[in-house]
Chains A and B, each alone.
Chain A
Amino acid sequence: MGNRRISAPSSGKAIDRRLLLKFGGASLLAVSAPSVLRAQAKEVVFASWGGSWEAAMREAWFKPFTAKTGIEVRTVQGNTYGRVQAMVESGRTDWDVVEVLPDFQWIGPKRGLLEPIDFNVVDKSQIMPGADMITEYSVPQVLFSRLVAYNKKLGAGPQSFADVFDTKKFPGKRAFYTKANGAYLEAALLADGVDPAKLYPLDIPRALKKLSTIRDDIQFYETNAQAEQMMSDGQAAIALTPDGRALNARSHGAPIDIQFGLSFLTWSAMVVPKGTTRKAEAMQLIAFCLTREAQAEIAKVYTYGPVVPKAFELLPPERANILSGGPQMQGKAVIMGEKWWGENLSGVTEQVNAWKLS
């Protein structure tokens, strides 16, 4: 913050002593902390989920961004909410952009952990409208969904969520993500006849009651790698899994088909932790990632959908068809009530854990 004030035009008065002290402090820090030193060579730190996803972002986003602006993007992993909190509360924010799940759009600001997005730099007019995707403190990054993938031996597979919960019609295990917000509660309610438009607030007891009807056939997975494994080896007849993982498993020869019509659309978001010294660079990077071209590039190399609808025009139709938010899902996908989840995750988790252990 201090740096920004120094670069602002001076009002001609003597330099504020506190400012000088701050500046002095900053240069002292620069000597002792290498991360601050590096920051002066124009850098922005992006905290990511890592793995092949990070590699994809590097190709589609970070390299072109550096080529265009001269700002290096350094990535770090372990982007947990707890880390953001510890960092901000200790006044040592060394991450500039963090990719998070959407519940943090509300958890973060509630605890005062985020910088507002500078919408003079970031163009939000192109972003898909509605459903709380944009907040004062966050912008969506890419779209993804949790959708139904099923083993080919089930023929045409489930046509509705009621089918997903019908173990007579479609015998076999159901693989669900272990966290409460893994969309299986939503699926249970839809299977039970709840109107998709009136899904939230979720009726948890009703959802758990529905889940109980197939209890012995549910296999919860802890990690997405596990979900892929279960689809590949036929352990799960039906899986509710991230679309990217289902597509990846299928392209690696897993005997599965994907039901794009039975999907829950959600997104990942980008936020800026409070107190970063590189806010301007962070905003530049976010703005870059949200251009139509950048959104199309990432959608080409990784199976996430662009949050900028116009990016679909830059994609070949066969690619667009398999992506979240693409033509196959139009009008069918249920949008996750992420704001509701941001407020209720803790309480619902308690209820779901109690159910799991009962």
Chain B
Amino acid sequence: MMHAVRRHGPYVLILPGFMLLAGLFVLPVGQLLATSFGDPAGSFVHYERILTQPVYLRVILRTLTLSAATAALCLILGYPLAYQLNRSKGVARGLILLCILIPFWTNLLVRSYGWIVLLNPQGVINGALREAGLVESGLPLVYNTTGVLIGMTQIMLPYMVLPLAAVMSRIDPRVMDAARSLGASPRAAFLKVYVPLTLTGALGGVLLVFMISLGFFVVPAMLGGQRDILLAQLIEFNVNQTLNWPFAGALSAVLLVSTLVLYAFGDRFLGLRRLWGAE
């Protein structure tokens, strides 16, 4: 008996958590996906509907473009910030870290609510612009795609900056010195040496942001407008409004497969697990 425990010790330790996830997470997700194939009219009717009704392809396309745009914006804003974070010291570094970590640890709803307060036509930003005489009526900054992008980018930015800064901190500063001493201009040294060294981190960050954005539900629902119909909202609609679980299952399958494929790719080629802090 003791022998068995020692030999299988690690597995025994894992067992309770494994049972919990297997029984109350993996199995239910599997069941949800299974219902999508269970229609008497044929196993694939729900998938046919997704492929033949133009609206679903459009929603999928919309989900992909919004996520891609979020990832791109995160890279554009995140790269300089990560760079600055990495070369700052003392108080400046602490301040930057606070600006990244406080939002990161703050509830999504709080931040979406904050954006509504800031961006709505009577809000803080439009008020300031009107005060300054720059605009007459409010700019449409929220309840449209602009609002979704502003909100999603802010929410996803820490996922880009933190891993990227970690990658940058591992770069030996002497590499840059060496490039300079070999006659490279600062710009060339940066572009030819520094950027390539951070490329995996940057791509990993982009992939991570893109992947998480695909499943966003709260932010588009709160900040979006008529064109911001994403997959997650359709899943919710089919469950709560029309009680069409099999179709919700089919839409879930599309979202889940896309997410898992992206994850597998990132895990294999970009060290996603390490970026996410898992390893």
Contact = CB atoms under 8 A, between A and B. Distances in A.
A59 interface: no
Contact of B229 (A82, A111, A232, A353): A353
B62 A107 contact: no
Contact of B55 (A83, A178, A345, A350): A350
Given A219-B143, A354-B54, A82 B240 contact: yes
Given A81-B243, A82-B243, A353-B58, 5 more contacts: A229-B122, A349-B237, A356-B227, A356-B229, A358-B58
A351 B238 CA distance: 15
A346 B49 CA distance: 12
B53 interface: yes
A78 B53 CA distance: 31
Contacts, number: 66
Contacts of B227: 356-357
B226 A233 contact: no
Interface of B: 53-55, 58-59, 62, 120-122, 137-138, 143, 221-222, 224-227, 229, 234, 237-244
A160 interface: no
A328 interface: no
A231 to B, nearest CB: 12
Given A226-B143, A356-B226, A346 B244 contact: yes
Contacts of A178: 226
A221 interface: yes
A218 B227 CA distance: 12
A222 interface: yes
Nearest to B224: A222
B241 A354 contact: no
A107 B226 contact: no
A82 B240 CA distance: 4
Dominant SS among interface residues on chain B:
loop
Dominant SS among interface residues on chain A:
helix
A353 B242 contact: no
B235 to A, nearest CB: 11
| 9 A-B pairs with the lowest CB-CB distances in the bound complex, closest first | A354-B55, A357-B58, A220-B226, A82-B240, A80-B240, A346-B242, A233-B122, A353-B55, A82-B239
A85 interface: yes
A358 B59 CA distance: 10
Contacts of A85: 243
Contacts of A350: 53, 55
12 contacts: A81-B240, A107-B242, A222-B143, A222-B224, A229-B122, A346-B238, A349-B241, A353-B55, A354-B58, A356-B227, A357-B58, A358-B54
Nearest to B122: A233
B60 to A, nearest CB: 10
Contacts of A353: 55, 58-59, 229, 234
B243 A235 contact: no
